[in-house]
Structure 1
Amino acid sequence: MEEQRALAGFAALSQETRLRIVRLLVKAGPEGMAAGAIGEALGDATTSRLSFHLTHLEHAGLIRSRREGRFIIYSVVFPTLAGLIEFLMRDCCDGHPDICAPVAAALDCACDPTLTRET
């Protein structure tokens, strides 16, 4: 991932509502969520405000939308999120993989479907 794309992604995530949306969509998985369900989950987002944030995230390449009947379904673009993490971690080890081991272990744990999540 080039630096400008990473900056756009991190800038999009630096706003509280957009970060909450992405985290919500990560939990939803590849199936995604309808815009109305996202608004309900956030609780305090007006339709126009939600639309603004969803558009911003889509322009940054972090989420995508698709139409299913009369609903717009949003889902995370997992390769882009992985690219942001890789961008941050690419040079961190500098020949010392033990430095990055805790991050890699945390990611393995978070993505293991056999582990239950705490609520």
Structure 2
Amino acid sequence: MAYMSNLLTHDRWAVVRVTGTADDRRMPALRAQLDEAVDGHPRVAVDLSGCRLTGTRWMSVLLEAGRRAHDRGHLFAVVSPRPHAARLCLPVLARGGRLLLCEHTEQLPKLEHAGRY
């Protein structure tokens, strides 16, 4: 079972931490939480370090959230995708600079220009 935590914060980033198994049936809940996070925060990261991704819908959910953030001038990051997920999503997700991929939350960029975001 996948569990999406409430938003945590890490150095001015809102972090959605996903744990357990994230399968296609649970993607609507993840999509809704990411939409809410992107709408309410200029920097959102989804932390996948504690989850196992199955199915295929997770990639479209991340792409949509990245696109939504980009359209608002916000930043979106994926933290700690599992090796198979990184292999699948790196070429697509990083295209156009719409999102950042990090191995852990400490790699999230520290933004010096607080006025912009």
Instruction: Please say whether Structure 1 and Structure 2 have the same fold, judged by a TM-score greater than 0.5.
Output: no
- Structure number with the higher strand fraction is 2
- Structure number with the higher helix fraction is 1
User: TM-score scaled to structure 2, two decimals?
Assistant: 0.25
Which protein has the larger Cα radius of gyration, Structure 1 or Structure 2? 1
